[in-house]
Amino acid sequence: MTLLAVATAVVWVLVLLEVVSAIRRPGPVRTLKRLLAAAVFAALGTLLGSLLILLQLFHAFAGETLIARVTTVRRSPAAFELRYAPASGEALARTVQLEGDQWAVSGGIVKWHPWLAALGVKSYHKPMRIGGQFSQIAKQRARPPTVYPIEPEADRFWEALYWADPHLPFVEAVYGSSAYAYVEPGVVQEVYVTPSGYLIKRAAR
């Protein structure tokens, strides 16, 4: 997207140069050629600008940002080890012991008003917990949940916006989001955040 923005700016600079050249160097033929070149560049600049706007809108309302990679190792039929590695750096990775046949990540989301999203303001998010769970309700009821914090403290910013939400015209919604997947040893699973919440995908091979 950055290259497209630069290309769009360069094309419009060429339009300006052609127009200035046509004004400073009068002459019917030369002026006509300069204006024709300016028109061609302007058409190209309009096309590139429209494409840039469409890409910006797509990213604002449907974009995905990688936030972590997860790998798991089975320790028993009812327990597993999970390694959570934030995309921001391997140094922040942590390994936890969980129970169940599924794992989940959850945290707070602040979805801004659509007009802010259209301007490129991304939804606020902060993953807070990793947990293990059983796909069968009976097994889940028989065991206490295993949950570990990603962040050591409560998200005060999210909480403040949650309670102030009814009075903030630039906020569309403040809520918690969770995504879960089955434990798949040997598979890298990636956690993404979208404008509306979390999602989990298998990493491309």
**For the chain, which residues make up each domain, given as ranges?**
2-61, 63-202
pTM of model > 0.75: no
Residue 81's Cβ-side half-sphere holds a number of Cα atoms within 13 Å equal to: 6
pLDDT digits (tens, 9 = 90+) for 181-194: 999 999 999 999 98
pLDDT digits (tens, 9 = 90+) for 127-168: 999 999 999 999 999 988 899 999 888 899 999 999 998 888
Q: How far is CA 45 from the centre of its chain?
A: 28
CB 160 within 8 A of CB 144: no
Q: Which of 49, 64, 52, 53 is nearest to 12 (CA)?
A: 49
Q: Which of 43, 40, 35, 42 is nearest to 19 (CA)?
A: 35
Residue 167's Cβ-side half-sphere holds a number of Cα atoms within 13 Å equal to: 4
CB 198 within 8 A of CB 106: yes
pLDDT digits (tens, 9 = 90+) for 75-117: 999 999 999 999 988 778 899 999 999 999 999 999 988 777 7
